[in-house]
Structure 1
């Protein structure tokens, strides 16, 4: 069992970052294993991903997760049913004009150690890079 937490500073306003993150269809932009994500009613999200189980060939999987948006406090909670008690929380906090802090907390019974920590850091870096590039694009 493991609980993990990681944070990064993102050079965009907190409301811009939060609006980006609550759009679940954008998950594949910063989660490379995720190939599709679509709201399927209420808090439910249909997802597809490509996984690489150790010692097995890569395969495509699909399932259902849930995502709860908490506007007050700019918080996002998520999870997926299954034997690993996988769920997490994401917080967007104001730092200064045009700067915010993104914190991700994750709980899973599946695995522990540096691979999950590395995945969290990689995910945060992906979000930071994607949203900062998008914010830097000139408006049409």
Structure 2
């Protein structure tokens, strides 16, 4: 299984960036190859907040994912305190990975994606494209200083 890693900086605070990326209902908006993602079970009680689980315990979600027109079963673990999203899927090119959001400076994050896959074609290019898509989407979705102070 091949291991791949790529990272970029994003001009958004780490907590905001992670909140956006860990919102599974909107995750396909940020991942270019992900057509849809649907939970296959009720949202677990542990997803209600950190007080409902042990420290650094992941919220585990079983999901049905549409990638390139095909459905696959998978899972996603969200570790809020660590700002880590881990996932895995079965299929002909079984793979898993993790997305990590780290603090760089006020209003800036480092976004790292690690991927473990049997696929060998264009993996690094797809990682770079995914990071660029996330960076663009999240940075352009931020209110500007002039719009924050405007009265409506």
Smaller-chain TM-score bracket: 0.7 to 0.9
Which stretch of structure 1 is more off in the superposition, 61-70 or 129-138?
129-138
Q: Are 1:47 and 2:65 an aligned pair?
A: yes
Give the Å deviation of 1:121: 0.3
1:103 to 94, 112, 116: 112
Mapped to 2, the partners of 1:71 and 1:30 lie a distance apart of: 18
Is the radius of gyration larger for structure 1 or structure 2? 2
Mapped to 1, the partners of 2:78 and 2:62 lie a distance apart of: 11
| Partner in structure 2 of residue 10 of structure 1 | 10
What TM-score do you get using the length of structure 2 for normalisation?
0.77
- What secondary structure does 1:118 align onto? helix
What stretches of structure 1 of length at least 5 have no aligned partner? 52-59
Count residues in correspondence.
129
Mapped to 2, the partners of 1:73 and 1:11 lie a distance apart of: 19
Give the Å deviation of 1:9: 0.2
Mapped to 1, the partners of 2:34 and 2:93 lie a distance apart of: 18
1:132 to 139, 144, 148: 139
- What secondary structure does 1:135 align onto? coil
Alignment of 1:74-93 (within 5 A): 74-93=83-102
Higher strand share: 1
Mapped to 2, the partners of 1:33 and 1:7 lie a distance apart of: 18
| Partner in structure 2 of residue 94 of structure 1 | 103
Mapped to 2, the partners of 1:48 and 1:82 lie a distance apart of: 12
What stretches of structure 2 of length at least 5 have no aligned partner? 45-60
Contact 2:31 2:133 in 1 (8 A): yes
1:60-92 per-residue CA deviation (whole Å, 9 max, x = no partner) reads 211221110011211110010234330001110
Mapped to 2, the partners of 1:87 and 1:31 lie a distance apart of: 15
